[in-house]
Amino acid sequence: MTSLRDHFLLAMPQLNDPHFSGSLTYLCEQGSQGALGLIVNKPMQLNFSELLEQMQLPIDHCKHGQQPIYRGGPVHTDRGFVIHTGKPEWKASLQVSEQLTMTTSVDILEALAEGEGPDQFLIALGCAAWEEGQLEKELKENSWLTCAAWKQALFDLPAEQRLDAAAASLGIQLELISGQVGHA
């Protein structure tokens, strides 16, 4: 199977898992070891300034204080994951695409708190992870639709519009899709 890295996973209407129902997940990695992604359309009741306060980091120069923090998934909910523009110049970074990088080290949060770092970023607590073959099985079961990701969906659209925009890029409306699945 071709890797779906740098793609969106759109939860199908019949996906009733409380973590993934109605979700849009940005897939950061997929390979022989499994897959890892971040849910990018479910903001928490927490903003960047509040997160910095909880981490006891200074917020004096923070220019993105009101940016929401997202519920990235049910795995590693105590860890932060930052999707951002730019190259992997931070301690723990993975270049996902030409334009996007995922960083998990605190140095990027410290830079953002100081008013530095990438201009466009999305912070999630927790991630979505699949064991080897698990995501492929879920795709065969029609739990997900996929489409190529684009950075404007992550950074320019309000969270509540991202799933519908991804579906529209495929020429569909999710609310018109039946929740019943089958194979002909």
More confident residue, 2 or 172: 172
- Tell me the pLDDT tens digit for each residue of 66-81: 999 999 999 999 999 9
Q: Using pLDDT thresholds of 50, 70 and 90, give the confidence band for residue 87.
A: confident
> Is 1 contained in some domain?
no
Confirm whether 70 is domain-assigned: yes
Q: Burial code of 48-59, b = ≥16 C-beta within 10 A, e = fewer?
A: bbbbbeeeebee
Please check the confidence at residue 42 and state whether its pLDDT lies above 90: yes
Per-residue pLDDT tens digits for 104-124: 999 999 999 988 989 899 999
Instruction: Quickly count: other Cβ atoms within 10 Å of residue 31's Cβ.
Output: 10
Least confident of 2-11, 47-56, 172-181: 172-181
Token reading at 17? 């898992």
Decide if pLDDT at 83 tops 90. yes
Give the per-residue pLDDT at 175. 82
Would residue 129 count as lying in a domain?
A: yes
Position 180 scores a pLDDT of 57
pLDDT of residue 177: 76
Tell me the average pLDDT of the chain.
92
Inside any domain, residue 181: no
Asked whether the predicted pLDDT for residue 183 surpasses 80, the reply is: no
pTM for this entry: 0.92
Q: Which residue has the tokens 């019949």?
A: 14
CATH number for 78:
3.40.1740.10
Range of the domain at 124: 7-176
Name the domain count of the chain. 1
- Choice between 2 and 157, residue whose per-residue pLDDT is larger: 157
Q: Is residue 64 part of a domain?
A: yes
For residue 183, tell me if it sits in a domain.
no
DSSP conformation letters of 79-109: EEEEEEES---SSSEEE-SSSEEEE-SHHHH
In a domain, 182, yes or no: no
Q: Which residues contact 56 (CB under 8 A, 6 or more apart)?
A: none
Q: Is residue 12 part of a domain?
A: yes
